[in-house]
Amino acid sequence: MRGSRRGRAALCVPAVLAAVPCAAAGDGDRTEDRRPNIIHIMSDDHAWQAIGAYGHPLMRQAQTPNIDRLASEGMMFRRAYVENSLSTPSRACLMTGLYSHQNGQRRLDGGMDTSVTFMPELLQQSGYTTAVIGKWHMLCEPKGFDYYRILRGQGEYYDPVFKTPDSEGYVRQSGYVTDLITDYAIDFLESRDRSKPFCLFVHHKAPHRNWQPDTRYLDLYEDSEFEVPATFDDDYSSRGPAASHQQMSIDRDMTLVYDLKIHQLRDQHDKYNKWELDVVDSQLGRMSAEQREAWENAYGPRNVEIVEGRVEDKDLARWKYRRYVIDYMRCIRSVDDSVGQLLDYLEREGLLENTVVVYTSDQGFYMGEHGWFDKRFMYEESYRTPLIVRYPSMIDAGTVSDALVQNIDFAPTYLDLAGTDKLPSMSGVSLLPLFASDGKAPEDWRKYLYYHYYDYPAEHSVMRHDGVSDERYKLIHFYGPEGSYDEFYDLQSDSSELHNIIGEESVQSHVERLQRQLEAFRTQLAIDEY
């Protein structure tokens, strides 16, 4: 099956790439231009807690061997953050090296300033071949790519539609989204101009909501007991209203039919939302008869205790958590397989030495911490994102960095790897000094990070906030129609951010220091709302 998909996709590679004479397979080291290739693998909503190498208790039950291999052979960043924990803004930061208010993409929908230069345009100008495969989700056409094959919007898990520069709109492809993206990425690599270095963005849809696993993993982890986070029953005392006001609670907001696949309940129209039922119908409608059957065989019997009302209300939140985490981890297993396939391909082709392989996510995610799913908040689970870089020429195997890095740094880093200057307007900085120093921050490395979330009112109802963090403390300023207030955390003594200590005398000097720093960011960056 995989072979036939590959064969078909290879024919679709554009003439501009296919026309260039290709050297034989295994010639990876014979390209004329010796600058490194770059593969940016970015999943969607992949919590760092759900990667083995990060050592979170959740991963006692699940495995990510291929992503872990990247960490054991490369550098793992433990303090990698986003500027705005949401998909389109995060992708705009990646493409431009700019903060959200500088590139225009502040919220999930609209706003992107397409006159801003995208990093792949500069890589192209410097002689790289560039491509993006998978989730694009930028609300504008891809800019600066020799080739693309992108999903529509958020993309679909089963039989997704893709668009290429040559296709007439979006065309449905048969298969599971993660496998298709992998196959198309390898097809691109096989058909590329081998005299030039490449920068390939492999952007997975998984494990985005509503966490639909491939049929081959429908039984995976079924008997595993994932540890419920210690903060699952957080009552948000000591925090301001935003933490209580959100609508991303597993207990309250995660739906049985749409999120948790208890499709037998779909006929109880009075109890469930119309949108939920429509979406479920359309998702199931994309599946083949065999796929539908596999789903019914897997979920049907496991749903019975809920359908028959045998799960007591007091146990329902934990039942939901378990179903959620298992499906999420199943989606990640396919993403991990994809990483393995890409590494195998690079190895076979002799490209493993001279290719920088990056694994990251468009933001972090809540795996039940504070009782939540989704992201958006400046609290660690969603502010922090996984980041692992393998590049043996510069990075020693098994290194770990605690330097403060952010998603605005990708563009300057990739340009630096290409030997090209970043644009003076770019706010991010190159990570190459960290690669070269075993991850230790040089004296003049940034000491503070700026964060800003704008998307309110919106789905999940997370109030607007900006804030600043250093290696230990975090100041968050929530604002909006409901009023404004600050929170302050000491991550060293309170890594779960349960204790807002804004008024405590013992940390007052640090509060004032971070307040000054926040003001400095707002002034320097010309922040226009807070």
374 binds, among ligand SGN, Ca ion, none (CB under 5 to 8 A by kind): ligand SGN
CA triple 182-186-188, angle to 5 deg:
115
83 binds, among Ca ion, ligand SGN, none (CB under 5 to 8 A by kind): none
Task: For 196-225, give one letter per residue: b (16+ CB within 10 A) or e.
Answer: bbbbbbbbbbbbbbbbbbbbebbebbeeee
For residues 262 and 462, which CB has a smaller minimum distance to Ca ion in the complex?
462
Q: Which of 478, 494, 37 is nearest to 242 (CA)?
A: 478
For the four alpha carbons of 408, 83, 108 and 161, in that order, the dihedral sign comes to: positive
Question: Measured from the CB of residue 87, what is the shortest distance to Ca ion in angstroms?
Answer: 4
- Reply yes or no: is the peptide bond before residue 210 cis, omega within 30 of 0: yes
Task: For 10-34, give one letter per residue: b (16+ CB within 10 A) or e.
Answer: bebbbeebeeeeeeeeeebeebeee
Which residue in this structure is represented by tokens 């005299």?
195
Element (H, E) at 477: strand 473-479
For residues 337 and 362, which CB has a smaller minimum distance to Ca ion in the complex?
362
Judged by CB under 5 A, the chain residues 311 through 370 that form the site for Ca ion are: 362
Please tell me the total number of residues recorded for the chain in this structure. 530
Q: Does 459 bind ligand SGN (CB under 6 A)?
A: yes
209 binds, among Ca ion, ligand SGN, none (CB under 5 to 8 A by kind): ligand SGN
β-sheet bridge partners, residue 199: 38, 130
β-sheet bridge partners, residue 77: 387, 401
Token code pair at residue 354: 């001279």
Q: Which of 369, 375, 329, 325 is nearest to 88 (CA)?
A: 375
What does 289-351 look like in DSSP terms, one character per residue? Answer: HHHHHHHHHHHHHHHHHHHTT-S-HHHHHHHHHHHHHHHHHHHHHHHHHHHHHHHHHHHHTT-
For residues 31 and 87, which CB has a smaller minimum distance to Ca ion in the complex?
87
Judged by CB under 6 A, the chain residues 100 through 139 that form the site for ligand SGN are: 108
Q: Does 83 bind ligand SGN (CB under 6 A)?
A: no
For residues 44 and 466, which CB has a smaller minimum distance to Ca ion in the complex?
44
Question: Measured from the CB of residue 143, what is the shortest distance to ligand SGN in angstroms?
Answer: 20
Asked whether the beta carbons of 89 and 107 are under 8 A apart, the reply is yes
β-sheet bridge partners, residue 39: 200, 357
Q: Does 94 bind ligand SGN (CB under 6 A)?
A: no
Position closest to Ca ion via CB: 87
Of positions 239, 460, 464, 474, contacts ligand SGN by CB under 6 A: 460
101 binds, among Ca ion, ligand SGN, none (CB under 5 to 8 A by kind): none
For residues 118 and 114, what is the distance between their CA atoms, to the nearest angstrom?
Answer: 9
**524: phi then psi, degrees, rounded to nearest 5:** -60, -40
Question: Measured from the CB of residue 210, what is the shortest distance to ligand SGN in angstroms?
Answer: 5
For residues 89 and 120, which CB has a smaller minimum distance to Ca ion in the complex?
89
For residues 91 and 390, which CB has a smaller minimum distance to ligand SGN in the complex?
91
Q: Does 374 bind ligand SGN (CB under 6 A)?
A: yes
Q: Does 381 bind ligand SGN (CB under 6 A)?
A: no
Question: Measured from the CB of residue 44, what is the shortest distance to ligand SGN in angstroms?
Answer: 5
Question: Measured from the CB of residue 330, what is the shortest distance to ligand SGN in angstroms?
Answer: 17
Question: Measured from the CB of residue 203, what is the shortest distance to Ca ion in angstroms?
Answer: 10
Question: Measured from the CB of residue 14, what is the shortest distance to ligand SGN in angstroms?
Answer: 28
Judged by CB under 6 A, the chain residues 5 through 44 that form the site for ligand SGN are: 44
Question: Measured from the CB of residue 362, what is the shortest distance to ligand SGN in angstroms?
Answer: 6
Q: Does 83 bind Ca ion (CB under 5 A)?
A: no
Chain-centre distance for alpha carbon 74: 19
Size of the site for Ca ion (CB under 5 A): 4
Question: Measured from the CB of residue 149, what is the shortest distance to ligand SGN in angstroms?
Answer: 19
Judged by CB under 6 A, the chain residues 207 through 236 that form the site for ligand SGN are: 208-210
For residues 210 and 215, which CB has a smaller minimum distance to Ca ion in the complex?
210
Q: Does 87 bind ligand SGN (CB under 6 A)?
A: yes
Size of the site for ligand SGN (CB under 6 A): 12
Asked whether the beta carbons of 170 and 154 are under 8 A apart, the reply is no
Which residues contact Ca ion by CB under 5 A?
44-45, 87, 362
Binding site for ligand SGN (CB under 6 A): 44-45, 86-87, 108, 154, 208-210, 374, 459-460
